[in-house]
Amino acid sequence: TARVRLRFEPSGVQVSVPPGVTVFEAASWNGVAIDSTCGGHGTCRKCKVRIAAGEVPVSRHDPRAFDAERLRQGWRLACLAQATGDLTVEVPPLTTRPKAATVGVGRQVILRPAVQKRYLELAEPSLADQTPDVERIVRALDDLEVIPDLHVYRRAGRVLRAADFKVTAVVVGTALIDVEPGDTTARRYGIAFDLGTTTVVATLLDLATGAPAAVASMLNLQQPYGADVISRISAAMLDPAALDRLRDAARDTLARLTGEVCARAGVAREEVYEIALAGNATMVHLALGIDPEPLGVAPFVMAARSFPELLAGDLGVPVHPRARAVVLPALGAYVGGDIVAGALAAGMDRDRRLRLLIDVGTNCEIVLGDADRLLATAAPAGPAFEGAQIRCGMRAAPGAIETVRIDPAAGRVALGVIGDAAPAGLCGSGLVDAVAELRRTGLLDASGRLADPDAARRISPALAERLATVDGERAFLLTGPDAAEPVYLSQRDIRELQFAKGAIATGWRLLLEEYGAAEPDIRQVLLAGSFGSYLSPASAIRIGLVPRLAPTRIVSAGNVAGEGAKLALLSAQERAGALALLEEVRYVELSDRPDFNDRFVGELAFPG
Ligand code: FES
């Protein structure tokens, strides 16, 4: 789809967005603040802007905010003004300074959470004023148009009378979900979940400041059903009862983390009014109790790309009983809500530079593009990066070797180990480092073969001592010949890494071709995910995992999926941005390409 360009005055900020996005959203996504107290719902009439160039038809609500003369001059409510063509928009100075927070990959986000609170001091009813209780509350919320939940009708009478009609209304989006006695406006929280196949992370956010109040993580309790999404889908297919058990395991994981973050921050569960969840399509299906079978077999179909408004209780998250849940939408069965969240957090759709986002994992998702065009694909990298199928592989936990430096002149190998522990194994970043260093020193050739002892002796006699035969295959001893439990890298381990990086490199190279660009055109590579974030850029380049750019252009982006979930909680406009991404990103399927295998084989070499 062609995009439309908006220019905001007096800031001079220029943005391009998909047609149909509102002026308010386009401004919010790009850090341009427009006045609002309703958060873009068309009810506060504060988001006044003037369309100085371009056409925006008068909306239903505009005549209530402006007289005929001002309408003629181009004044519109920004949250109702859809940009269908290029526009120049004049933004008046703000009457209230909105708070902003830095989230994701350095993104400045204007705080406009869907959760809002209003303290109300209501007139007590009398025989002369018999306004019903809930109507009295709704009327007082004059800048918000809300629909009360049944919960509110049940509680209002008691709460109003117990609190002398001084209450706080709790609104999520357009739903009035509760009335609380007294002034509780200072306390409103949300939880952002990154529901990973392996690890699940919860961040409790103070929605008033955007700051995290507590963070906790644990292994997904679905682990016993398999390490990757395919084995969990198979588990659900083989045994009808397994689907329920997998759902319950996901819910238990989310519930435990909820208890932990609330306890750590001293926040009552009832003060959490909304949650957001980013996960791959399989994790989301399982957590919602939806049969994932169609995801696992060609043609790989999801139940839905996005889910309508859900309750936190639908995901088993024990917070406020009427708390809402936002599930980040997915592009496809293998480009899920986690990568949509990541693209959102990285601002992939609003940067003019050509950028590449790689979420390195068992299933590796890749997004390439800029503000004009975005392409995405998924590459089956296999479990090597998680430490599986690697002889001495382990997760990034205490004892894992995470960095490796080989000094051929001194004949030494320097290891960086997680925690204050003796080396017990090799995690993904250590694996990449080890192979890159062996390649750099010539102990490994471009085809991925370890040097024979004679060749190795010519490089360094001391290092040649570390070449051993373990279980009938050549291996390089990382921990040195006299370690009690040696940690080594075997020839087959190196092959595993070759397959993983070959799949990923094939993925981004094919996307580059589709885009019509070449390696040097890429301005930035973002390495994301629990594994990718810890990779050494130089090593990633040396093994050919990422394009050959200056190492400073290869940036660790952190847990972008979790950051995207935070964004969805902190800004209703960002949430709309995630949905807009579904229209903007074109998914490129690799598995049906006739040349995939040839390309993959061509990517197996280590460039060095
Ligand atoms: Fe409130 Fe537009 S009317 S933001």
- How many helices, marked H, and strands, marked E, lie in the chain? 19, 29
pLDDT value, residue 363: 80
Give the three-state DSSP class for 326.
strand
Q: Of the residues 46, 60, 141, 573, which should be mutated to test ligand 1's pocket, given the most ligand atoms within 8 Å of the CB?
A: 46
The CB of 77 under 6 Å from ligand 1? The reply is: yes
Using pLDDT thresholds of 50, 70 and 90, give the confidence band for residue 37: confident
CA distance 66 to 71: 6
**Mean per-residue pLDDT over the chain, rounded:** 92
Summarize the confidence of residues 430-443 as an average pLDDT. Answer: 95
Which residues, other chains included, contact 472 with Cβ-Cβ below 8 Å and sequence gap of 6+?
none
pLDDT value, residue 18: 87
Structure confidence by residue, pLDDT tens digits, 224-261: 998 888 899 999 999 989 999 999 999 999 999 999 99
Burial class (CB in 10 A: 0-12, 13-18, 19+), 469: exposed
The CB of 383 under 6 Å from ligand 1? The reply is: no
Could you identify the atom of ligand 1 that is nearest to the CA of residue 40?
4
Could you identify the atom of ligand 1 that is nearest to the CA of residue 42?
3
> What is the distance in A from the centroid of ligand 1 to the CA of 379?
42
Structure tokens at 273: 């009014």
Is the pLDDT at 481 greater than 70? The verdict is no
The backbone torsions φ and ψ at residue 311, rounded to the nearest 5 degrees and listed phi first, read -100, 150
pLDDT value, residue 40: 85
CA distance 260 to 207: 18
pLDDT value, residue 497: 93
Could you identify the atom of ligand 1 that is nearest to the CA of residue 61?
3
Inter-residue contact 196 to 386 (CB < 8 Å):
no
The CB of 148 under 6 Å from ligand 1? The reply is: no
pLDDT value, residue 57: 93
pLDDT value, residue 424: 93
Look at residues 325, 322, 311 and name the one whose alpha carbon lies nearest to residue 191. 325
Q: Assess: ipTM above 0.95.
A: yes
pLDDT value, residue 210: 93
Range with lowest mean pLDDT among 28-42, 483-497, 564-578:
28-42
Which residues, other chains included, contact 524 with Cβ-Cβ below 8 Å and sequence gap of 6+?
353, 355, 356, 553, 554, 555
> What is the distance in A from the centroid of ligand 1 to the CA of 144?
9
Q: Of the residues 22, 23, 44, 75, which should be mutated to test ligand 1's pocket, given the most ligand atoms within 8 Å of the CB?
A: 44
Is the pLDDT at 284 greater than 80? The verdict is yes
Q: Whose CA is nearest to atom 4 of ligand 1?
A: 40
The DSSP secondary structure of 451-472, one letter per residue, reads PPHHHHHHH-HHHHTTEEEETT
User: Higher confidence at residue 346 or residue 108?
Assistant: 346
Summarize the confidence of residues 89-111 as an average pLDDT. Answer: 87
Structure tokens at 434: 């080890």
Measure the CA angle with vertex 502, ends 500 and 503; round to 5°. 70
Structure tokens at 565: 């979930």
CA distance 476 to 515: 40
Which residues, other chains included, contact 46 with Cβ-Cβ below 8 Å and sequence gap of 6+?
35, 36, 37, 38, 95, 143
pLDDT value, residue 350: 85
pLDDT value, residue 531: 76
CA distance 180 to 120: 10
Distances (CA, A) of 342 to 401, 412, 551, 557: 27, 39, 21, 9
User: Higher confidence at residue 367 or residue 230?
Assistant: 367
CA distance 329 to 278: 8
Length of the chain: 608
Three-state secondary structure readout of 217-250: EEECCCHHHCCCHHHHHHHHHHCHHHHHHHHHHH
Summarize the confidence of residues 290-295 as an average pLDDT. Answer: 95
Q: Of the residues 38, 56, 111, 171, which should be mutated to test ligand 1's pocket, given the most ligand atoms within 8 Å of the CB?
A: 38
Using pLDDT thresholds of 50, 70 and 90, give the confidence band for residue 32: confident
Range with lowest mean pLDDT among 257-261, 311-315, 362-366, 495-499:
362-366
Q: What domains can be seen in the chain, in order of their start residue?
A: 4-98 (3.10.20.30), 115-181 (3.10.20.880), 189-327 (3.30.420.480), 348-382+497-602 (3.30.420), 385-491 (no CATH)
pLDDT value, residue 1: 57
pLDDT value, residue 512: 96
The CB of 36 under 6 Å from ligand 1? The reply is: yes
> What is the distance in A from the centroid of ligand 1 to the CA of 575?
16
The CB of 427 under 6 Å from ligand 1? The reply is: no
pLDDT value, residue 445: 94
Is the pLDDT at 498 greater than 90? The verdict is yes
Could you identify the atom of ligand 1 that is nearest to the CA of residue 41?
1
pLDDT value, residue 607: 85
pLDDT value, residue 243: 95
pLDDT value, residue 574: 92
Using pLDDT thresholds of 50, 70 and 90, give the confidence band for residue 608: confident
Is the pLDDT at 519 greater than 80? The verdict is yes
The CB of 79 under 6 Å from ligand 1? The reply is: yes
Summarize the confidence of residues 47-69 as an average pLDDT. Answer: 93
> What is the distance in A from the centroid of ligand 1 to the CA of 343?
27
Structure confidence by residue, pLDDT tens digits, 402-428: 999 999 999 999 999 999 889 999 988
pLDDT value, residue 140: 96
The neighbour count for residue 410, using CB atoms within 10 Å, is 11
CA distance 103 to 570: 9
Structure confidence by residue, pLDDT tens digits, 105-146: 888 888 999 999 999 999 999 999 999 999 999 999 988 889
pLDDT value, residue 412: 93
Is the pLDDT at 282 greater than 70? The verdict is yes
